[in-house]
């Protein structure tokens, strides 16, 4: 059932089997509201840490809590579909909380990856990963691109 948007409980069972087979699990997360080159580069780099890349995607409810009522732009099912169809991504799972900490506590990946704009001690799920012998990694961004900046650019161009 590779490369699938998957229920958390099913994913836990699959990852347990993959770990028994010696595979290294990488987890990262984000809103991925408007996909851009920085996202794709980031996910490719994250996958390089292990064998299986799991991407936790903030649900629409979660994005609203974090970014405000006007977000997300793209609905969760479409965001998940897009991320799910990138070569580097093996599994996509949605979560409703503001952080993926509960999800990480249940999945217990070997590597937890975030962008270098995050301080390692502030990364949700860090303690669980490290206490179970895993590592937390950060990745530098290739550009200063973000969904918020894309939205600003669009609004600016349409006001002209």
DSSP 24-75: PEEEEEE---S--HHHHHHHHHHHTTSSEEEEEEE-HHHHHHHH-TT--SS-
Contacts (Cβ under 8 Å, ≥6 apart) of 29: 55, 56, 57, 58, 95, 100, 103, 114
Alpha carbons 5 and 54: distance in angstroms, whole number: 10
**Number of neighbouring beta carbons within 10 Å of residue 36:** 16
pLDDT at 1: 46
pTM for the whole thing?
0.92
Domain 1-98 coded CATH 2.40.50.140: no
Q: Would you list the domain boundaries of the chain?
A: 1-98
Select from 2, 13, 11, 19 the least CA-distant residue to 110.
19
Select from 70, 88, 87 the least CA-distant residue to 31.
70
Alpha carbons 26 and 155: distance in angstroms, whole number: 36
pLDDT per residue as tens, the chain (160 positions): 455 579 999 999 999 999 999 999 999 999 999 899 889 999 999 999 999 999 999 999 999 999 999 999 999 999 999 999 999 999 999 999 999 999 999 999 999 999 998 999 999 999 999 999 999 999 987 777 777 788 888 888 888 7
CA-to-CA separations, 125 to 19, 38, 93, 100, 144, in angstroms, rounded:
18, 23, 16, 7, 26
């Amino acid at each position: 059932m590779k490369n699938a948007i998957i229920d958390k409980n099913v994913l836990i069972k699959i990852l347990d089997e993959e770990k028994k087979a010696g595979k290294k699990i990488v987890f990262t997360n984000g809103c991925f509201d408007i996909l851009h080159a920085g996202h794709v580069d980031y996910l490719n780099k994250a996958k390089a840490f292990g064998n299986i890349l799991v991407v936790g995607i903030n649900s629409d409810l979660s994005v609203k809590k974090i970014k405000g009522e006007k977000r997300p732009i793209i609905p969760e099912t479409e965001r998940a579909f897009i991320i799910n169809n990138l070569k580097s991504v093996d599994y996509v799972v949605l979560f409703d909380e503001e952080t993926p900490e509960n999800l990480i506590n249940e999945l217990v990946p070997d590597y937890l990856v975030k962008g270098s704009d995050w301080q390692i001690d502030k990364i949700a799920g860090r303690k669980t990963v490290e206490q179970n012998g895993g590592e937390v990694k950060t990745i530098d961004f290739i550009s200063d691109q973000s969904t918020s900046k894309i939205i600003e650019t669009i609004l600016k161009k349409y006001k002209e």
